[in-house]
């Protein structure tokens, strides 16, 4: 077994694809309209779906906003340098909501960004300890 993808509902598919590709550097892997269901799916990631977990963006036609709820936390992306990643995100027009620095009650360097729909994305240094 393996984790295939994480799905997020988005209010503006083009805006979200632009954010994940131009700000976070993902590639649009595939996109398909489902006219009978009135939705579009777009799959993005840092590598192909056969070997990597990817992000599925779901746009339900005519829905431009969602309530995120209190159960959702964040997605996490490993980066070589959290400080550099946060700066690059800001330079590309992304919104950093927690500047790079040590996490609370620990030493792991993290930062958080927010996508156009308000979903939080955590950036963790590649040298963090996995336990």
Write down the domain spans for the chain: 5-60, 75-125
Rounded CA separation 30/44 (Å): 7
Q: Closest Cα partner for 48 from 23, 27, 20, 79? A: 27
Regarding the domain delimited by 5-60, which CATH topology (the fold level of the hierarchy) does it fall under? 2,3-Dihydroxybiphenyl 1,2-Dioxygenase; domain 1 (3.10.180)
pLDDT of 129 over the 60 cut? no
* Interval 73-114: pLDDT, tens: 999 999 999 999 999 999 999 999 999 999 988 889 999 999
CATH code for the part of the protein at 75-125: 3.10.180.10
Active-site residues: which are they?
122
pLDDT, position 131: 47
pTM exceeding the 0.85 threshold for the entire prediction:
yes
Is 109:100 a contact under the CB 8 Å cutoff?
Answer: yes
pLDDT, position 130: 58
């Amino acid at each position: 077994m393996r984790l295939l993808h994480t799905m997020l509902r988005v209010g503006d598919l083009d805006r979200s694809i632009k954010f994940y590709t131009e700000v976070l550097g993902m590639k649009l892997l595939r996109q398909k309209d489902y006219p009978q269901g009135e939705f579009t799916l777009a799959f993005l990631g840092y590598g192909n779906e056969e070997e990597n977990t990817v992000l599925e963006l779901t746009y339900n036609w005519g829905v431009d906003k969602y309530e995120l709820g209190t159960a959702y936390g964040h997605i996490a992306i490993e980066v070589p340098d959290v400080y550099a990643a946060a700066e690059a995100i800001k330079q590309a027009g992304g919104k950093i909501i927690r500047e790079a620095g040590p996490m609370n009650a620990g030493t792991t360097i993290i930062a958080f960004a927010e996508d156009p729909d308000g979903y939080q994305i955590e950036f963790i240094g590649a040298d963090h300890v996995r336990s």
